[in-house]
Structure 1
Amino acid sequence: MIKKVQLPLQTMNLVVGFMVWVIISSLIPFISEDITIPPERLAIVTAVPVVLGSILRIPLGYYANVFGARIIFLVSFILLLFPVFYISEASTMTDLIIGGLFLGIGGAVFSVGVTSLPKYYPKEKHGLVNGIYGAGNIGTAITTFSAPLIATQIGWSSTVKLYLILLLVFAALNFFFGDRHEAKVKTPIFEQIKGVYKNEKLWFFSLFYFITFGSFVAFTIYLPNFLVNNYGLAEVDAGMRTAGFIAIATFLRPVGGWLADKLQPLLLLMGTFLVYTIAAIILAFSPSIGLYTVGSLAIAVSAGIGNGVIFKLVPFYFNKQAGIVNGIVSMMGGLGGFFPPIMLSIIFSLTGQYSIGFMLLSQVALASFVLVVWMYYQDRLVLAAEVFNSTGQGILVTDVSGTIRTVNPAFTRLTGFEKEDVVGENPSIMKSGRQSKEFYKEMWQEIKEQGMWQGEIWNKKKDGVEYLQWLNISAVKDDTGEVVRYVGTFTDITEEYRNNKNTNSSFSK
């Protein structure tokens, strides 16, 4: 029973964590009426919660494996009581920065669930499960939409205090319904980091999540104030539009995870980054509110699907180090939400427009698309190499002139010839001398006419022992129909031949 409630419980935990995480950015139009915040500092105040929310994801992902999700969520919600109360009593910009920094705990809990929940489900469901959990970032939409409405009635300070009740309720829920017997992994954190930091896929996934989740967080933080200042929208209207952006990205996250379970995840990421590139170019031209809405919604769709796909890939490639890798990747995503608003503010203060910032986003998205394409074909090459190296059949590959270019480990095991012995040589070095010239002439004539030949042939091992092969030779052609290489695959059937011979001799007697 307890195990069955972990997905809904941890998803709701994430909802609450993200609700708390964006309190300041959602209420900044109201807070700035009481606390003087210079325009050039506004982006810093709203982005500060992202800092700790990003950096803490590494230790929280690690300790979720060590202590279990129950303890980490419980402690996190108790710790959040202090910055939430402090912000509700804030009277200066410094108070907001200090309190906002520790609000980051709310965003950091993300790495807890993506580390814990896959333990309860088979691999083929990890994309959907992490997608459903990731949909907990709807918490940012709930606060962005509801906090301004409540603040118009009771003021922003009292609105912030309401979150204290929510945190206490969920601390209690985790105490009673969290899984006390979750499987633990206690490999030291530095040992885990040492095991993954040289893996290029870790840094590729970090870049991809930096863009997908980073843009989600950045737009969540930056849209309310941007829409008010640049398009003259009312505060509540801006909040509702931002909530719509968040809702679309959040709803599509489990869809992205589900699609990644069913389809090739890297192909989905290619489509994601192509849409990102086009959407960012649209936004770069400072369009009307209509076109700006289209561009923003395209970003929301890409962010949602991309986020779901990435956290299908992480446990697939890093099963044993999922905790630390989830922490690193999700940290980079959080930092992706910290830098863009500040960068956009700096660019705007220097140029008076946001175009350069959006063009930078389009170029990074395009570079990511290229990297995903490279990863896709690299995976295919690795798969081909694994098949080549692990098959039990001997394989040798020659060029069109018959010179051996490579052989597989099974070739060495069956013949005794090392790779260095045969590369650059002709397969004739293995001839036994039992077959006539006419035999080879007919064999190559058949290959020329039909593209392949198969049959029995006597050859010689490195130690001079003759053995019988079942050999298949295929001609490999390019797109123009020209033969570019020959591939021979064979098995040793000497024992089978001798057994049949002995059996036939017995019957003849």
Structure 2
Amino acid sequence: MLRKIQLPLQTLNLVVGFMIWVLISSLLPFIKEDIAIPDNQLALVTAIPVILGSILRVPLGYYANQFGARKIFLISFVLLLFPVYYISVANSLADLLVGGLFLGIGGAVFSVGVTSLPKYYPKEKHGFVNGIYGAGNLGTAISAFAAPVVATKLGWSTTVQLYLIILGIFIIANFLLGDKQETKVKTPLLEQIKGVYKNEKLWLLSLFYFITFGSFVAFTIYLPNFLVANFGLDKVDAGFRTAGFIVIATLMRPIGGWLADRFHSLILLMFVFGVYTVSAMILSFAPSIGWYTFGCLTIALCAGIGNGVIFKLVPMYFSKQAGIVNGIVSAMGGLGGFFPPIILTLLFNLTGHYAIGFMALSEVALASLILVVWMYFQGKMSLANEVINHTVEGIMITDMSGKIISVNPAFTKITGFEAAEAIGKNPNILKSNKQPKTFYEDLWRSIETNGFWQGEIWNSRKDGEEYLQWLTISAVKNDAGEVVQYAGMFSDISNHKNKKA
């Protein structure tokens, strides 16, 4: 029974963690009425919770495998009691920075669920399950929407203290309902890191999540104050609009995971980054509130789909190191939310507008699109190489001059020639003396006329033993129809012939 409630329980845990993570940014228009915050420090105040929320994702993902999600969520929520109360009584910028830093624990719990929940479901459901869990992002929308409304009636300090009650409820819920029997993975941390840090897919997925989740976090903490300052909107209205952005991004996350379970994940990411590129360009032209809303909501759509797709890819590429990789990728996503608000503020102070910052997002999205296309075609080539390397038939490829340029392991097994001994040589190293010259002339005439030749042929192994092959030679053509290579596929049929005899 406890296993069945882990998905809803851990998703609600993430909702609470994210509600707390964006607590300061949601209430900043109210807080700055009581606490003097210089304009050039506003972005830092809202971004500071992202630091610890990103860095801690790596150890929390690892320890979730070691000790189980129940213990990690419990400890995290107990620790959050202290910074939440500290912020509720804050009266200086320093208080907000110190308390905000430790609010990052709320964002760090993300890596706990994405590490724990796949243990309860088959692989074909991992995308959708992680997408459902990722919908816990909705916690940011709840704070963005509800916190300003409550603060209007009760004041921001009392509003913050209400979060202590929510934390208390979930501490009890995890203690009673968390799974004590969760499967543990005890692989040492350094061993896991050594197993993944040289893999380029780790860093590409980190870059993609840096953009998709980073933009989600950045817009979440940047929009409430920006909409008030730049478009003169009411504080509650700005909160509603920010909540709308968050809701769309959150709802699209499980849809992104569901789509990734059914379609090619990299093709979905091509769509995501293509639309990102165009949307960020729209924002860079400092549009009206209507076009700005369109650009933001389109980014929300893509961010949600992208977030869901990426955490389908992590267990596909890193099934044995999912804990540490989930931590690293999600940490990079969190850091992706830290830098943009600060950079946008810095650029605004220098230029008087945000155009360069949004154009930079567009260019990074375009670069990511190119990298996804590269991953897609590299994956196709890798699959083809896997097929070639594991087929039982020997394969030999030559260039137009007749030099061998590639062989597979079965070639070595059948002929005795290692790849290094065969590459660069002419195929006549395999030639026997059992066929007359006219046999080879007919063979090449067939290739020139029909594009291939197929039949029995006597060849020699490295040790001089002659054996009978079934050989197919095909001309490989480019898009212009010109022959560029020749590919031979063969098998040893000597034993088959002997049995027949």
What is the TM-score with the length of structure 2 in the denominator? 0.98
Residue 44 of structure 2 corresponds to 44
Corresponding letter in the other structure for 2:269: L
Write the distance in 1 (CA, Å) between the matches of 2:448 and 2:7.
61
Aligned pairs for 1:87-486 within 5 A: 87-486=87-486
The offset of 1:110, in angstroms, is: 0.1
The offset of 1:401, in angstroms, is: 3.1
Coordinate RMSD, CA, aligned: 1.1
The offset of 1:422, in angstroms, is: 2.3
* SS of corresponding position for 2:185: coil
* SS of corresponding position for 1:91: coil
Write the distance in 2 (CA, Å) between the matches of 1:28 and 1:86.
16
The offset of 1:420, in angstroms, is: 2.7
The offset of 1:190, in angstroms, is: 2.0
Write the distance in 2 (CA, Å) between the matches of 1:206 and 1:420.
37
Greater Cα offset, 107-116 or 470-479: 470-479
Write the distance in 2 (CA, Å) between the matches of 1:459 and 1:362.
59
The offset of 1:144, in angstroms, is: 0.4
Greater Cα offset, 489-498 or 426-435: 426-435
* SS of corresponding position for 2:464: coil
Greater Cα offset, 280-289 or 402-411: 402-411
The offset of 1:486, in angstroms, is: 1.0
Write the distance in 2 (CA, Å) between the matches of 1:19 and 1:467.
73
Greater Cα offset, 432-441 or 309-318: 432-441
Residue 13 of structure 1 corresponds to 13
Corresponding letter in the other structure for 2:164: L
The offset of 1:459, in angstroms, is: 1.0
> % of aligned pairs identical?
69
CA distances 1:107-159 after superposition (whole Å, capped 9, x unpaired): 00000001111111122211111111111101000110011111111111111
Corresponding letter in the other structure for 1:358: F
Corresponding letter in the other structure for 1:98: V
Write the distance in 1 (CA, Å) between the matches of 2:372 and 2:58.
24
Greater Cα offset, 423-432 or 50-59: 423-432
The offset of 1:445, in angstroms, is: 2.3
CA distances 1:275-330 after superposition (whole Å, capped 9, x unpaired): 11111111111000011011111111111111111111111111111111111111
Corresponding letter in the other structure for 1:100: G
CA distances 1:174-194 after superposition (whole Å, capped 9, x unpaired): 111111111111122122112
Q: Which runs of 5+ in 1 are unaligned?
A: 502-509
Residue 506 of structure 1 corresponds to none
Residue 497 of structure 1 corresponds to 497
Corresponding letter in the other structure for 1:66: Q
Corresponding letter in the other structure for 1:88: S
Write the distance in 1 (CA, Å) between the matches of 2:387 and 2:445.
29
* SS of corresponding position for 2:468: strand
* SS of corresponding position for 2:182: coil
CA distances 1:231-261 after superposition (whole Å, capped 9, x unpaired): 1111111100100000001111111111111
* SS of corresponding position for 1:246: helix
The offset of 1:378, in angstroms, is: 1.7
Instruction: Please state if 1:80 is matched with 2:80.
Output: yes
The offset of 1:432, in angstroms, is: 1.8
The offset of 1:460, in angstroms, is: 1.0
Write the distance in 1 (CA, Å) between the matches of 2:197 and 2:417.
38
Corresponding letter in the other structure for 2:136: G
CA distances 1:459-489 after superposition (whole Å, capped 9, x unpaired): 1111111111111111111111111111111
Write the distance in 2 (CA, Å) between the matches of 1:220 and 1:458.
71
Write the distance in 2 (CA, Å) between the matches of 1:41 and 1:425.
68
* SS of corresponding position for 1:371: helix
The offset of 1:441, in angstroms, is: 2.5
Write the distance in 1 (CA, Å) between the matches of 2:188 and 2:480.
55
Write the distance in 2 (CA, Å) between the matches of 1:424 and 1:173.
68
Write the distance in 2 (CA, Å) between the matches of 1:17 and 1:305.
21
The offset of 1:437, in angstroms, is: 2.5
The offset of 1:498, in angstroms, is: 0.4
* SS of corresponding position for 2:320: coil
Greater Cα offset, 228-237 or 116-125: 116-125
Write the distance in 1 (CA, Å) between the matches of 2:378 and 2:155.
56
CA distances 1:377-396 after superposition (whole Å, capped 9, x unpaired): 22222222222222111000
* SS of corresponding position for 1:180: coil
* SS of corresponding position for 2:224: helix
Residue 505 of structure 1 corresponds to none
Write the distance in 2 (CA, Å) between the matches of 1:205 and 1:424.
38
Q: Structure 1 residues 267, 176: closer, same or farther in 2, change over 3 A?
A: same
The offset of 1:450, in angstroms, is: 2.1
Corresponding letter in the other structure for 2:119: K
Corresponding letter in the other structure for 2:188: P
Q: Which runs of 5+ in 2 are unaligned?
A: none
Write the distance in 2 (CA, Å) between the matches of 1:423 and 1:46.
60
Write the distance in 2 (CA, Å) between the matches of 1:406 and 1:331.
41
Corresponding letter in the other structure for 1:496: H
* SS of corresponding position for 2:459: strand
Write the distance in 1 (CA, Å) between the matches of 2:164 and 2:205.
35
Write the distance in 1 (CA, Å) between the matches of 2:73 and 2:205.
25
The offset of 1:443, in angstroms, is: 2.3
